[in-house]
Amino acid sequence: MKKRVGVLALQGAFREHRQVLEHLGCDVIEVRKTNDLEEIQGLIIPGGESTTIGKLLQIDEMGEKIKELGTQDLPIFGTCAGMILLSKTIINSDQYRLSLMDTVVERNAFGRQVASFETDLLVPAMGPNPLRAVFIRAPYIREVAPNVGILAEYDGKSVFARQGNLLASAFHPELTPDLRVHQYFLNMIDEL
Amino acid sequence: MTDIGSLKVKTGLAEMLKGGVIMDVTTPEQAIIAEEAGACAVMALERVPSDIRAEGGVARMADPTIIQSIMAVVSIPVMAKARIGHFIEAQILEALGADYIDESEVLTPADDSYHINKHDFKVPFVCGCRNLGEALRRIGEGAAMIRTKGEPGTGNVVEAVRHMRTVMSEIRALTLMPKEELMSAAKDMGAPYDLVLYIAEHGKLPVVNFAAGGIATPADAALMMHLGCDGIFVGSGIFKSGDPKARAKAIVLATTHFKDAKILAEISKDLGQPMSGIEISTLTDSQRMQERGW
The ipTM is 0.95
Q: Using CA atoms, how far apart are residues A124 and A121, in angstroms rounded to an integer?
A: 10
CB pair distance less than 8 Å for A136 and B252 = no
For residue B262, the number of C-alpha atoms closer than 13 Å in the C-beta half-sphere is 1
Cα dist from A108 to A80, A81, B169, whole Å? 10, 10, 38
In B246-266, which positions are buried (b, 16+ CB within 10 angstroms) versus exposed (e)? bbbbbbbbbbbbbebeebbee
Helix (H) or strand (E) holding B168: helix B158-176
For A76-116, the pLDDT digits (tens) are 999 999 999 999 999 999 999 999 999 999 999 999 999 99
CB pair distance less than 8 Å for A119 and B3 = yes
Q: Is any Cβ of chain A less than 8 angstroms from the Cβ of B22?
A: no
Nearest to B9 among A14, A51, A117 (CB): A117
Contact, A52 vs A20, CB < 8 A? no
Query: One of B81, B118, B240, B249 is an active-site residue; which one?
Result: B81
B134–chain A nearest CA distance, Å? 25
For B17-27, the pLDDT digits (tens) are 999 999 999 99
CB pair distance less than 8 Å for A48 and B17 = yes
Q: Using CA atoms, how far apart are residues B236 and B246, in angstroms rounded to an integer?
A: 14
Chains A & B: contacts with CB separation below 8 Å: 122
For A143-161, the pLDDT digits (tens) are 999 999 999 999 999 999 9
* pLDDT mean across residues, chain B: 94
Nearest to B124 among A108, A111, A113 (CB): A113
Contact, B96 vs B123, CB < 8 A? no
Measuring CA to CA, which residue among B291, B240, B242 is closest to residue B271?
B242
Note the residue count of chain A: 192
pLDDT band at B28 (very low <50, low <70, confident <90, very high): very high
B216–chain A nearest CA distance, Å? 20
CB atoms within 10 A of CB A64: 13
Please list the active-site residues of A.
80, 172, 174
Q: Using CA atoms, how far apart are residues A72 and B287, in angstroms rounded to an integer?
A: 60
Nearest to A13 among B16, B75, B255 (CB): B16
Name the residue in chain B with its Cα closest to that of A8.
B256
Tell me the chain B residues in contact with residue A15 when contact means C-beta distances shorter than 8 Å.
18
Nearest to B77 among A93, A117, A137 (CB): A137
pLDDT of residue A125: 95
Name the residue in chain A with its Cα closest to that of B1.
A119
Q: What pTM was computed for the model?
A: 0.96
Q: Using CA atoms, how far apart are residues B267 and B38, in angstroms rounded to an integer?
A: 14
For B79-131, the pLDDT digits (tens) are 999 999 999 999 999 999 999 999 999 999 999 999 999 999 999 999 999 99
CB pair distance less than 8 Å for A116 and B12 = yes
Residue A175 has pLDDT above 90, yes or no: yes
3-state secondary structure of B213: coil
pLDDT band at B277 (very low <50, low <70, confident <90, very high): confident
CB pair distance less than 8 Å for B19 and A48 = yes
Which of A15, A49, A59, A112 to mutate to probe the B interface, most B CBs <10 Å?
A: A49
Name the residue in chain B with its Cα closest to that of A111.
B97
Cα A20 from chain centre:
14
B176–chain A nearest CA distance, Å? 23
* pLDDT mean across residues, chain A: 97
